[in-house]
Amino acid sequence: MTHTFRTAAVIGAGTIGLSWTALFAAHGLTVRVSDPRPDLADAVDEALTAFGPHLAAQGLDVDGLADRVHITADVTEAVREADVVQESGPERVEFKRQLFAQLVREAPRHALLLSSSSMIPATAFTADLDDTGRVLIGHPFNPPHLMPLVEVVPGAHTTEEAVQAALDFYTFVGRTPVVERREIPGFVGNRLQNALSREAMHLVQQGVVTPEDLDTVVTHSLGIRWATTGPFLSSHLGGGPGGYRHLMEHIGSALGDMQLGEPSQHPDDLERVIQTVEKAYASTPYADLAEARDRGQLAVMTALENTRPQKGN
């Protein structure tokens, strides 16, 4: 690692920003959090308390976690001594354009300026700004204090030095960064997720399967398989000793002929899907569902970590 990270500013204390805050503090960073919400201090305290066990389960020292987090409603004060700024504000181009103009102006010149944007490429909100070589996307999957992936997406003017600094930073805080070399709305993870979600909605609308049974199909097949290998390696292994080439030669045309569905966007059709999902899951409190999800994700990640070959073996 060629960069040193001591202080991070988190701009925006919603679900993602609070998760980043806990993760950064657990890795020993001094974290300054800024958000205009009136309950900011309470929200941060609640998040650190809730996320502490998750971080401890990852082997991180959570003693004194709150002592490393400082609250400020003022963006300028939050970024004044930052080595890294992680923006997690509203998904609106104009908001981000105005905010990053302020960040470029107020943050130290060495500071890395990152956006958690899940849909908007960096060039869309930095094209008219100066000194944008240090601005890029660092898109996590929710919640970032648990989910390892961070999509690192440079903008049109992002420097290679900034890309490397982002890789160093996210590796430092225990994440798995992947560089995507071409900007595209939604990046890679959300586009894949959207493709599956669209077909899932189509299948439910067509009465092929219920939401609960579709979730069972995924969690008992693709979810397990892709957690260990991913789509391309899964297909390569599915081809047997002949690998991906053999698979494509034998069933590639059939896969290409399969017409995927286009879910209806009519309000009545969407409402019917919403009601079936609510019937399946809304009777259980959100906090309970989220906690079960997080415990399951931790268990999966722990199991995967234990199956990976040790270095030197």
Catalytic residues: 151
Angstrom distance (rounded) from CA 288 to CA 142: 16
CA dist., res. 96 & res. 75, Å (int): 13
| Euclidean distance between CA atoms 168 and 175, whole angstroms | 10
**Token pair 């899951």: residue:** 281
Which DSSP symbol is given to 209? Answer: S
Read off φ and ψ for residue 64, nearest 5 degrees: 75, 20
83 close to 5: Cβ distance less than 8 angstroms: yes
* C-alpha to C-alpha distance for 145 and 164, rounded to whole angstroms: 21
Strand order from edge to edge, sheet including 7-11 = 69-72, 30-34, 7-11, 84-87, 112-115, 135-140, 149-154, 176-179
Task: Say how far apart CA 69 and CA 26 lie, in whole Å.
Answer: 10
